[in-house]
């Protein structure tokens, strides 16, 4: 039976494990190779949901040395999810999504010094990067200040994440509606064309049966 807990109880769970859990609703959005085959709305929706799960997971930990490795691995997965979210928002072309993602980046930038103290760098493009020189050894209490459920940073990240998730869901629905409309229009066009063919055939048959068109060569 697969382990279903986020916080460890003597078991160390890898960053890859947490990332899989965050993207359990859409596993194709987890890796760069499979992400390239997904549409922008699908990606942003998957990333927003995964980021919300990451925030929830980090808020569920007891921040002590017994959970040290799992906390770091969960934060590492959060970093990957956060970066994915910024990428998909930028690629979406939706101004609302991009504006919210920019606000999220600006928020994180204000915490750049605190993140730097635990070995997480805020890059010039707003993405996050862990540094192996500090991240594995930084005091766990500093992680608690940033990532626990009481953290102001996490609470504000959660707020932006809910907005991203809501807008992404709207975009997915809009995309579905547009697809249905295109299919409906295509079906209507096909039906109209078929009706015209039938009507033309009836007219030809009428001409032939009445003799009116008996000496006229007609080709379709």
Residue whose pair of structure tokens reads 């504006």 in the numeric block? 99
Q: Which of 45, 160, 170 is nearest to 100 (CA)?
A: 160
CA distance 37 to 8: 34
CA distance 116 to 129: 10
Phi/psi for 99 (5° steps) reads -65, -40
| Res 3: pLDDT | 38
Where along the chain do its domains lie?
A: 15-174
Task: Give me the tens of pLDDT residue by residue for the chain, a chain 220 residues long.
Answer: 343 444 445 799 999 999 999 999 999 999 988 998 898 899 999 999 999 999 999 999 999 999 999 999 999 999 999 999 999 999 999 999 999 999 999 999 999 999 999 999 999 999 999 999 999 999 999 999 999 999 999 999 999 999 999 999 999 888 877 766 676 667 776 666 666 666 666 665 565 566 555 554 544 4
| Res 175: pLDDT | 80
| Res 117: pLDDT | 97
Which residues 6+ apart lie within 8 Å of 192 measured at CB?
A: none
Using only the alpha carbons of the chain, give its radius of gyration: 28
For 215, other C-beta atoms within 10 Å of its C-beta total 6
| Res 5: pLDDT | 43
Structure tokens, 57: 């997971």
């Amino acid at each position: 039976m697969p382990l279903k807990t986020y916080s460890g109880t003597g078991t160390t769970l890898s960053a890859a494990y947490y990332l899989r859990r965050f993207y359990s609703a859409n596993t194709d959005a987890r890796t760069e190779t499979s992400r390239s085959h997904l549409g922008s709305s699908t990606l942003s929706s998957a990333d927003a949901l995964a980021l919300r799960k990451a925030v929830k997971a980090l808020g569920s930990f007891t921040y002590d040395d017994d959970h040290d490795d799992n906390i770091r691995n969960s934060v590492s997965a959060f970093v990957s999810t956060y970066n994915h979210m910024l990428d998909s928002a930028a690629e979406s072309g939706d101004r609302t999504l991009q504006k919210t993602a920019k606000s999220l980046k600006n928020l994180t930038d204000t915490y750049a010094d605190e993140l730097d103290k635990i070995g997480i760098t805020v890059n010039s493009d707003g993405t996050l990067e862990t540094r192996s020189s500090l991240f594995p050894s930084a005091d766990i209490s500093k992680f608690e200040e940033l990532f626990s459920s009481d953290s102001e940073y996490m609470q504000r990240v959660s707020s932006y994440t809910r907005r991203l998730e809501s807008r992404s869901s709207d975009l997915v629905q809009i995309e579905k509606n547009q697809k249905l409309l295109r299919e409906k229009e295509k079906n209507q066009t096909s039906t109209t064309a078929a009706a015209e063919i039938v009507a033309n055939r009836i007219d030809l048959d009428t001409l032939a049966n009445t003799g009116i068109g008996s000496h006229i060569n007609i080709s379709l």
